[in-house]
């Protein structure tokens, strides 16, 4: 599966690794797991360094709409996303612009920077 994740309830932290061709269905499955496992408030580290997103404009709008609908489930934890390709960075930035209101979300080029930012938020 191109989107692997670990929800650590003890540490209250979610680690996600996206790799290879990533499509809408895999991301929606991840979102559903967050809801079902009550992990929405946890900080999330989303590693897309090896991802090749295969998402249309409509797919990105669907993701933005889904995340906007989750606003009713506040609090939602911060998201630190990591991407190194222009394609993945552009899609993640669009996603953040569409669905990132009312919670911290940032894009990084290294895992270390992303982790440090999440730690700095407390």
Phi, psi torsion values for 73, nearest 5 degrees: -100, 20
In this predicted model, what pLDDT tens digit does every residue of 27-58 receive, in sequence order? 999 999 999 999 999 999 999 999 999 999 89
Q: State what percent of residues in the chain have pLDDT above 70.
A: 97
Give me 10's structure tokens: 């003890």
Q: Give the mean model confidence (pLDDT) for residues 49-71.
A: 89
Nearest by Cα to 24 from 67, 54, 52 = 54
In order, the DSSP letters of 49-88 are EEEEE---HHHHHHHHHHHHHGGGG-----EEEE--SHHH
> 2-11: string of b/e by CB count within 10 Å (b at 16+)?
bbebebeeee
Average pLDDT, the chain: 91
Q: Contact 114/81 with Cβ under 8 angstroms?
A: yes
In this predicted model, what pLDDT tens digit does every residue of 93-111 receive, in sequence order? 888 887 655 788 999 999 9
Q: Give the mean model confidence (pLDDT) for residues 9-24.
A: 97
The residue to which tokens 């269905």 are assigned:
25
What confidence score (pLDDT) does residue 90 get? 93
Record the pTM. 0.92
Domains of the chain plus CATH, in order, are 3-120 (3.30.750.24)
């Amino acid at each position: 599966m191109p989107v692997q994740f670990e929800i650590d309830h003890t540490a209250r932290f979610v680690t996600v690794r996206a790799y290879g061709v990533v499509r809408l269905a895999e991301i929606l499955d991840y979102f559903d797991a967050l809801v079902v496992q009550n992990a929405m408030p946890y900080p999330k580290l989303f590693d897309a360094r090896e991802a090749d997103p295969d998402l249309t404009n409509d797919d990105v709008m669907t993701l933005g709409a889904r995340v906007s609908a989750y606003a009713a489930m506040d609090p939602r934890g911060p998201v630190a996303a990591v991407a190194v390709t222009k394609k993945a960075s552009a899609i993640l930035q669009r996603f953040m612009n569409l669905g990132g209101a009312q919670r911290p979300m940032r894009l990084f080029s290294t895992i270390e920077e992303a982790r440090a930012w999440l730690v700095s938020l407390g």
